[in-house]
Structure 1
Amino acid sequence: MSTNLLNLFSKATDATATEQGFHYQKLKTLKTWLENRIAGKDELIFCDTDDDIVQRDTAAGATKFRQVKLYSTNFSFSTDEVTKSLANFFMLYTQGEYLFEEVVFAFETNAGIAKETRGNDADLLREWAEHQGDLSDELLERCVTRVKQILDPYIADGYAKEKAKDHEGLFLKAKNLYERLPDDFWRSFVKSVRWEFDVIPRDTAIPQLTAEIAQLIGQLPLPVNTKQVSSYIADLHWEIVQRTIDKDPERRVLSNGLLDYLILHHGDKESHWYAALFDKWSADPKVGRFHVGSFLEVVSATRHCRWNLIETGHAPLWLEVMQQFIRLPDIPIPFKRKAIYEYLFLKMQAARAKGEADASMAADAPLVVEYFEHLEERHELADIEEDISFLQIVTAESKITEGFADDAAIEAWTEKLRSSINTHLNNARDVNEHCLMLEMKGTALMSLRHGMHDIEKVKAAMDIFRQIVPLLPSANHYTISLLSELLKQMADVYRLLGEKFENMVDEIERFRLEIAMAAPETDRRLKAAKDLVQSGATLLAAGGTRNFLRALTIFHKVVEVWRMQETMDAHVLALLGIGQVYHALGANFAGKYYALCAIWSAWHTGDEKVMAKLGDCYGMVFHADYLQGAWFSALGEYLPYMNYQKELKNGGHLTDDRVIKNFLDLVLILESAEKVHPDLVHLINDYKTRLGDLYTKEMAYLVEPLQAHLKATEDHRSFVVERVMDAPFNDAGAERFIRFKMLGPTWEIRFQNDHVMTAIAEEFAAVLQVILCEIGRSGKDIALPEKTICINIEQCDGQMEWPVLEGEIWTLRIPAADKHEPGTIRMHYAGVGNHVRSILSEISLLPKDEVETFYLSLLKERQMGQKALSVTSYQRAYFQAMDEEIFDLLARRHFSQVPGRFDHPLIDTLAVTA
């Protein structure tokens, strides 16, 4: 019969009946927790479960039960706390759960052992404590006998109390089992008991224990502020108390990961951020498929670990997760290269931190080969700096790990990288790219092996950097301040290397003096941009069409100033700001264009902090089509928006005001669909299924009230109409009509409703709206008639064709322009702008030459062309953000136009502009 049955006699152990005793137990727990973390011991600590403290190392198959007592009197075998603890230890020992583990039962107290008096067997307890772990046969037998003397009445008393109710005879069976326990069982139990008598006065036990804990906190392999040790102790003690009283036993556990989280979370904002990620990925490190948001947060955490926390032992977690990303079949090549870079860099740094070589590095050699096989597949040219750094660390590792990379391969990769830099330098698309590639060329020369002495390399690199200086006045998106800072760091390293490197320091400092006036220019421009932002915000707060139009010019200028690598996050925000202003003006396609440009810019930086704004960018694209009534497009756009928002903002659906607003707009679309267009009912139900728990559970508190309100609304059409600029679901059908009213005319743009033509036609609509807003901002009335201007757009191959007017319909033939070649795109947009100019000149009631002159003045004096063409073309940005699969997902072309489609009243959003 299993000894589990003996657990019937177990009784609840009493914690020390004082607040100090409770406090002492928790401090003992904290000390153990800290000692485990410092020693790297992967052990779980359970608070107040089977005992005061339970420590389990499942991998080692070891469990330790601890009774912790704070007392002012000493102990003997006649002390109740000793007898109760032994009884509790015995009952735990009989549990089958621990029979196959190495089990230790520890009685710990600040007190000592009492003097021998009649019947207390204090000398036996002292002898047992002094020889624990190495009991002689004779001493072992005496200890067994004494333990039996304690437990026999304990079992007898328990049976006597339960005898009358023992209808099934379980207590009797347990009592009989106890009486037949073999001697080996008793000997094994006694050997598992440990005694710890600290012999510290009660009044000094807690202060002494607290001081020991304070020292341990300073030894943690984590960033700890030594001035806040008492605050750490308070936070950790509070955590232990909360877990001790938690009703769920599974939550009464302390781990090394939890300790790291709490210590890191105690720090600055960056530590809070990292602590949350570490906690999240420690709990579930599995990667199912590629999500850019998840990938970017792991990249950020990996870098933070490499730079700041390499001693913590966190590296294995991030290495495991990054390996999973590398192996994903659906990971895009640029991201896979970044994953390889982060994985190997962290692995090398972790090995250096331990002061020993990592024997597994040679097995990663194929990853290095794969990285350089795809050298040209990167987010943007600035990422060449990572290629240079990666080649440096590969070269260093090759000297340590045999078989990692041979000299011939390194030389080939070096030449391939140099050739790539020269190719991009010779084919630079503009002066900004020219400056960047000169910087990359000089950096590569200084950092990589070129068969040159150090002083020769430095001189040659400075000569390359000097070629940047005369280009700076024309380079509005490049700043030399980052190069200046990089060179300062190099000079500092040379200084540390000793006197013989002083000539290299002199060369670097000589060049830094030459650019001393140019380097701070970025700061001055950024300060001016911040002042402009404040002015623009003031205008927006004032409200009104005229102020919105004035704010546009300000924000456009800000976008140009912030269009640099080190300020790309602000640049993306400025693009979104422009999009918001256009939306306020009713120019939804112009607003959508700038949101698409924000997506493009965020994606192509490759910077995780900038890409974290992708959710906001997609949210604005969704908002634009929602306002325009293009609800098929909006539904397609909400899916990537939802994914990015969840991935990049840890499920921000419940808190962010903008997220909630967009979700409410989505609810209106879904709950209105059947009344607006009955044929959509099955499609909408399928879409709700795609949203899953988000719609039915997570955000039900928003869905249900709106459902009830719409159900109670009699005039459903009016309720919807006042919230959008054109009829809802107006992008249904084989042919699509874009309609809006600005500066008098109603503009109606017709085109084939497919993926490519949507990009072409929306691009034209966006350019038209930008130009109309600039005309409105000027305050000049160019006398446009209040009638419908019908524009039919078709796709053509090759050159853009001149507009054709047949009756009342203009036909424009515009080519697809999915290219990122500045010269070609500028020509394309000049053609689109000429289409607009031609139409405006023809329909205006003013003389044509007057309209033409005014139009040219907008191009020259107000840089209207730069506002119509931002960081890339509409088509290019659209195709990247919205692939054809998303476009076709809802089969919009197979539904008829919404009944009463053209009855929706349009409002002239620029009627008051003077």
Structure 2
Amino acid sequence: MATPTELARRIRFELSELSGHNGHHEFENLCRELARARFVSNVLPATGPVAVGGDQGRDFETFHSYLAGSLRFATGFLALAATDTVVFACTLQRDKLKSKIKADVKSICTQGTPVHRIYFFAVETVPVAERHELQSFVHDAHQVKLEIVDGLAIAQLLTDPDVFWIAETYLRLSADMRPVAPPNEPSLPAWYSALKQRWANTERTPVNQGDLAQLVRGLRHATDTTAARPDLPEWLGLIEQFLATEPDFEAAQRARYELSRATLRGAGDLRPAEHHVRAFFGDVASMTLPADLLDASVLLQYTETARLAGESALDEDELRDWAKELRQHLTTLLEPPTTAGRRAGLLNAAAHLSLHFDYAAVEAHEERQAAGTKQHAPPDDDELLSITEVPDWLPLVDIDHGMACLRELVELLPQTPTYPIDSLARHFDMLAPALVDHPLYEPVRSALDEATSRQAGDASTANRCRKRAMSLYRSGRRLAALRELHEAKVNWWHGDTLRGSLLAMLFIARLYGELRMPLAAKKYALSAAFAACTLPDRNVRDLAPAGVFEAASYDHLAGAWMSALRMTRTAVLLHTQVAADPWNMDRHGDLASATVHAVVIQAAVRHRPELAGAVTQLIADAGLSEYVDGVLAQNHTQLHWDEAAWLAESVEQLTGAPFSDAAPIRLIEFGALGQHWRVRFRNERPAAVAAEEFCAAAQVILVELAMADPVLLQTTIEIEVELFDAANEPSERAQPIPDNTCARWKIYLPSDEPASAPDADVETLTILMQILHSSSLLPADKFMAVMEDAFRTGLSHRLTVVNSYRQIMAAFAMEPDSADGVYAAPLGTPDQFPVHTVAELAAPTTAGPGYTRKEAERAIRARYEHSAAATRQTLPRALADEALRAMFTRLLSEGRKEWHLLMALANLALNHRINHRYGPLVGPSDQLRRAVEREELTREERAEDSSPSVAEIAGTFDRFLALAAVSVATTWGLQVNQDTPHLQAVEALLKARYRYWEDDVEHMPFFPPADGARSHG
């Protein structure tokens, strides 16, 4: 079923395609039937070949009827009968349409019977100004009234249910293109009863497309409506009669399709119609129309579903052969050049076929579930037939081919702007959870959204984004859902759809909160609240307190409990201004949740008495004292918790230590992509707001990069924040501090508010990109390519929302604040508070960029060969020492490979030899460097070379073992971007993503066990 807008769009496309296959006669017949139904009923077709002027430019005209004038309340034919002469002309011509109309009108008016009115049907759209100009010209030149019915008007007229059969008869519409029932239509509407009675009271056998269209309308209503389902046998019988008249091929295939669909969906058993299914697919190679081939794919999916559900006796091999034949037929039809519209239709059918559910894999899934493996339960037959979203576990037949077809299809859309994409977009949205990980998902999704916006506007795109987001969220794909909601937020940002944008922001905040990114969540919640307060639309005012309540909950999640109470105070003030019955806790869940959090904070502050006065005052300012005191009077449990109990509970529930925002030096911690971020700053309001703004941006970017691969080191990012004023701007906003155990930075943020929100975000982004690139192993160009992709998919509008974070915070701040200048230690030790990372933001474990097993083994063989030559003298001396042998044995038992040890020893020996011969190479000249590379780096170690002592090897081996990882990283096009690298983090990344501790090749052993080595000594 389709809405009138979707039907009109499809009809317009099919009208435009008529000229591609010489469809003038179909268009003329369509216009005549439409004229008879909507304009005048007494029409006759023109006769005589056009080439010899037989029709005098008239495609059809009226005959005189005198009945309409004599019957006062004439209906039907009589009400539409014309008493004057009306001539109809039709054209598929697109170019020079104005000249065509003038020429045809002149031919009509200067030959044959005098004319009073002319209706001119055209597939091309005629602008209103041009229409009025032509009407004036015809009236002045010929004293005739002219009405122009263009493609847009024809399409809209044909969407009416009572004349839709005309479109079905003369255009190539797929079976799913049928008018949707009007809202609140009864289950047995008048049109259905009249249609049923008309066919029940006649002996006439249905013989043409018009009859079939009426019967299909009745059959579909009986199939899909419980109250009409008892009529199903009669409708099936009538279409069987139609099929028995041996209609033309296309009509026969449509009848077989409808009989099969109705038998399965209406009676729940395909077996009585299986002979029709076989006949349909027996002729599938003769089908050439894209809409019919799409029907074939849909019918095949129905049939596969019925077999799986036990509602069909068709053999699996038979279905597989039909699918193979249909796929090959579509491939053949796609080979020769054709129009963009026809190719798009064929690609749609081919994509649909490839994106069928793979029922063989579904059955294997059910067997695993029966064996005890916990899996999602597959949907039953009815759910599959009416499915609104596909679970991500449900396998599809050939995603790669299906997505390739869709990619080519969307690239054709600019060439065929009238191609209807509504049903295609709905099907894509339904499959989104199963497609979202495919590399072509983003370009196809974006192109479909752009086409939807062109055809139906941004609001339609936003609705589709929201539907996809909800589908992905229910499937557990929160990152993909977040990306869709960000797009919905932007597309709804218009005067009449602002509420949708603000609701999207609130859901975005919820997702960031679930991802344990509370500052990003707070940023979005407050942005929605700020917009609700400042936008002229009064209908969004209620979202202001909702946003601030949400922000308070994210402060609570972060352990910023003093800030949570400040936000609650502001939220309650807004809430009481806009909410009906504002203190009804049952009615207002966000107020009830805030009260619960206030109870928790009031109970916990017993362990920090220096904060008790400020906490009590903030709760009182929010008007919650009575509720909080009442709850604590009834339930004393939390009042008796010791600090250890509070910490145990907090570790499970929060992302930061309780009262973390009360410490003189505040610490904000969060984790993502294997990194542990720790941001410290003086806990004064300007610095706190600036640091929160920085952390919110960092969290947004990290979540965005989770869908890319910046190859970040698993390390700790230690950041100290300091403010500066305009008169003392530092030369560098981000300054690295040497440290081989983490990435340590000092960053400088402006104390003054930047000129605009984008300016603030650009400044913050510049600092963050510097920090992130330093902790990435990607070279600068590849890292920037990752960031450019992020910007291309919308990072800019994810960072900048409504206004800057500082301005929004200032808008919701209340003075004076009883908590300002009141400090206390958080509960527990913030430095020891664990950082929990959700699964979606965990460090990647997939193979790193560029890795292949073949290249790894080639490089390892080369390392064995080179390192063995470079340690020809040093290795035997090292193995002669018992302590070194024991060290080598220990390292190998821990999982190290021999090439690790050999490579470290080779670098150690080389470093010793160079230092002995040349001295420390501190800033060597190019000439000296080239000499060293030529003479030392590539040659075999000789007996006369200086060799490191046992003590030197023992004292420096671990460092050279760690440095070896840096050398290996370069094999994969990686590079260390830190001045003082965290070597353990480099090795950990190689171990996790480049099989650094797994890959090896067959070789003669270099390091015999310690005992064995002693026996050779």
Q: Same fold (TM over 0.5)?
A: no
Task: Specify which structure has the bigger relative contact order, considering alpha-carbon pairs within 8 angstroms and separated by 6 or more residues.
Answer: 1
**Could you say which structure has the higher helix fraction?**
1
The two structures have a TM-score, normalised by structure 1, of 0.39
